[in-house]
Homo-oligomer: A and B are copies of this chain.
Amino acid sequence: MRLGILGGGQLAWMLAQAAEPLGVSVAVLDPSPDAAAGRIAEHVAAAYDDLAGLDAVSAGADVVTYEFENIPAAAVARLAALGVTVLPLPASLTTTQDRAREKELMRGLGIHVAPYALIDAPADAAAALTQVGAPGILKTRRLGYDGKGQVRVATAADLPAAIRELGGTDLIYEGLVAFTRELSVVVARGTDGSLVAYPPVENEHRDGILSCTVAPAPALPPAQAEAAQAIGFAVAEALGHIGVLCVELFDTPDGIVANEIAPRVHNSGHWSIEGAVTSQFANHVRGVLGLPLGDPSARGVAAMVNIVGTEPELAALLAISGASVHTYGKAPRPGRKLGHVTLVAESSAALAAPLAQARALCAAAWDA
C-alpha cells in the first residue's frame, strides 16, 4: 500500500514511522527541503498548490491524507480532479478551517462551547459585547494556531482596537471559560464507521504553545472521561471524519466545555506512541487505509513534554527513567517545537519524579 501526505513536518514524520512497518510506503509533499518526514519517506519538495507536486505525491497512492488543516482549496480540487481519495473527507477540513462553523457544529450537537459572536465589521462590536460580555478573546475565524491570530480583550473598551488589530473582518469573539484545567480527547474513526477513543489527557500551555500532556488526565472521574470521549465521537460522526481527530476541551466546575477541533493527529496525542497500545499515528494510518483500528488504551501512565526553542542535551534526557526522545531535526528558534520527550511509568506516583526532571530540562531549554 502507499500513502501520500500533504505536509512533511513532525506529524507526517511520525505518521511515516507508523506506516512504514506495515509495509506502507509514504510520499510527503512539503516545500521545505529540510522537512522532517523527508528523512524516512519519499519527499516531493514543492508548494502545496503546485500541480506537478500534487501529481507526484499522489502517484500510486491508495489514499492521500494531511498533517495540517489549512490545505489550499486548489490542492483539494486538483486531487479530486485526479480521482485521488483524500481522507479525511473535505467536510472535516471545511468545517474545522473556520472557527465559526466549528462552534456551530458543536453547539448543534448539544456540546457545550463558550459563548461567541461573529464579527465581520467594526460595527459588530457592540452586539458582540451584549451577547458575550467582557473579558473575552478575539480570534481570526481562519488560519490561527499555537496562540497566533488571537487577542485577549480585557474590557469592553478594548474590543474595537482588537478588531482593528486582527483585520476588522472574519473574526469570532469568544467569552472566557472559567476552567480548572485544559483537556483534550483524540478519537479515530475507520472507513467502516468504527470508532475508538483515547483516554482524555490533561494539557498545559505556555505562551500559547502546548508544553506538557499527562495521560490519562489525572483524577478525571469516569463519567467526565466518557463525556469527553462522547464529544469526540459525536464530532467525528457529524463530520463523517475518517482517521484521527482531536477536540480540545476545558474542564470546568459545570462540566466539560469544548474549545476547538483539529481534524488530524495532534500534539496532545504524541504520548500514545509509547503510552498506548496503538498510537494515534498508527490508528490514523489504519483508519485512512481501511485497516482495522487498534486498541487506544493507555499502558500505565505517560506524560509528554515538548522541546521548544532549543534542545536539552540528549544524554541528560535519556538519563531520565522511562524517557523516550523524539527529535524533529529542526533548527532552534524561539517558540519553535523541536521535539518531545515521552515518559512512561506504572503509576502516577512513579511518573512524578521523571516528569519533574524532564519539565525542568525542557523549561530551561525553552528559556535559553
In Å, the complex CA distance between A248 and B322 comes to 27
> How many Å from the CB of A25 to the closest CB on chain B?
8
Oligomer copy total: 2
A318 contacts B300, C-beta separation under 8 Å: no
Which residues of A from 5 to 39 have beta carbons under 8 Å from B? 17, 20-23, 25, 39
Q: Which one, B282, B291, B325, contacts A314 given CB within 8 A?
A: B291
B318 contacts A23, C-beta separation under 8 Å: no
- Most B CB contacts (10 A, CB to CB) among A21, A23, A291 go to A21
A324 interfacial by beta-carbon distance below 8 Å: yes
A326 interfacial by beta-carbon distance below 8 Å: yes
Contact with B along A327-344 (1 / 0, CB 8 A): 101000000000100001
Cβ-closest chain B residue relative to A311: B23
- Most B CB contacts (10 A, CB to CB) among A25, A325, A339 go to A325
Contact with B along A191-235 (1 / 0, CB 8 A): 000000000000000000000000000000000000000000000
A268 interfacial by beta-carbon distance below 8 Å: no
B291 contacts A318, C-beta separation under 8 Å: yes
Contact with B along A162-192 (1 / 0, CB 8 A): 0000000000000000000000000000000
B344 contacts A299, C-beta separation under 8 Å: yes
In Å, the complex CA distance between A234 and B237 comes to 58
A85 interfacial by beta-carbon distance below 8 Å: no
B22 contacts A286, C-beta separation under 8 Å: no
Known: A23-B314, A318-B292. A282 touches B324 (CB 8 A): yes
For chain A, which range describes its interface: under 10, 10 to 19, 20 to 34, or 35 or more residues? 20 to 34
In Å, the complex CA distance between A23 and B40 comes to 12
Q: Which one, B21, B291, B322, contacts A327 given CB within 8 A?
A: B21
Residues of chain B within 8 A (CB-CB) of A324 are 21, 278, 282, 294
> How many Å from the CB of A22 to the closest CB on chain B?
6
A-B contact pairs, 20 of them (CB 8 A): A20-B39, A20-B40, A21-B326, A21-B327, A22-B314, A22-B325, A23-B314, A23-B327, A23-B329, A23-B339, A25-B39, A282-B324, A286-B318, A291-B318, A292-B315, A292-B318, A294-B318, A294-B322, A295-B321, A299-B299
- In the complex, besides A17-B20, A290-B315, 20 extra interface pairs with C-beta distance below 8 angstroms are A20-B40, A21-B324, A21-B326, A22-B325, A23-B314, A23-B327, A39-B40, A277-B322, A277-B344, A278-B324, A282-B324, A291-B315, A291-B318, A292-B315, A292-B319, A294-B324, A295-B321, A295-B322, A299-B299, A299-B344
